[in-house]
Amino acid sequence: MRVLGVDPGLTRCGVGVVEGVAGRPLTMIGVGVVRTPADAELGQRLVAVEQGIERWLDEHRPEYVAVERVFSQHNVRTVMGTAQASAVAMLCAARRGIPVALHTPSEVKAAVTGSGRADKAQVGAMVTRLLRLDAPPKPADAADALALAICHIWRAPAQNRLQQAVALHAARSPITSKGRTA
């Protein structure tokens, strides 16, 4: 499985591609950051993020895109920019028919470090260890993008089985859409 992880942001949008399957060693295919000038107009910045993600999709041909789920922060301006960059990443993937998965920061931290409260340094250290890198990717947005991809590779099989079980149960259930038995 090849996954493009996207740590959305308007100034720095982390991107990283990891390949592998759960339970086996993973391989980093590429890592980087799509940057936009902080003084540019919002529309221009979003176009720059789109162009950067499109380049990564063209070059690495992922089977899945894993994007950090935006969560409420104290700074509304920051969360809006993150949400906008996140939407651009999802749009780029959807245009190509690539499935998108959203993972919360705590899910990613828990998957990679074992603790949903891990700090950036711990995430970077574990990404370095898991991908057998010489040093943690810089900046932290790049390491976070790789962590998202790793999280998705490890969580996707269980999530797929759960979705299949729910679909099978729904297909066999005699309950109608109005909550009454047929």
141 is catalytic: yes
Report the C-alpha gap between 180 and 38 in whole angstroms: 55
Single-letter code of the amino acid located at 161: R
Annotated active-site residue in 7, 39, 54, 107: 7
Distances (CA, A) of 60 to 4, 31, 41, 82, 142: 8, 11, 29, 23, 16
Q: Catalytic: which of 58, 68, 119, 144?
A: 68
Q: Do the bridges between strand 12-19 and strand 27-35 make them parallel or antiparallel, or are there none, so unpaired?
A: antiparallel
Q: Which amino acid is at 39?
A: D
Q: Identify whether the C-beta of residue 32 lies closer than 8 Å to the C-beta of residue 68.
A: no
* 84 touches 71 (CB < 8 A): no
Active-site pick, 54, 107, 119, 141: 141
At residue 137, what is the residue type?
Answer: P
Paired tokens of 17: 């591609």
Concerning whether 119 is annotated as a catalytic residue, the answer is no
Active site residues: 7, 68, 141
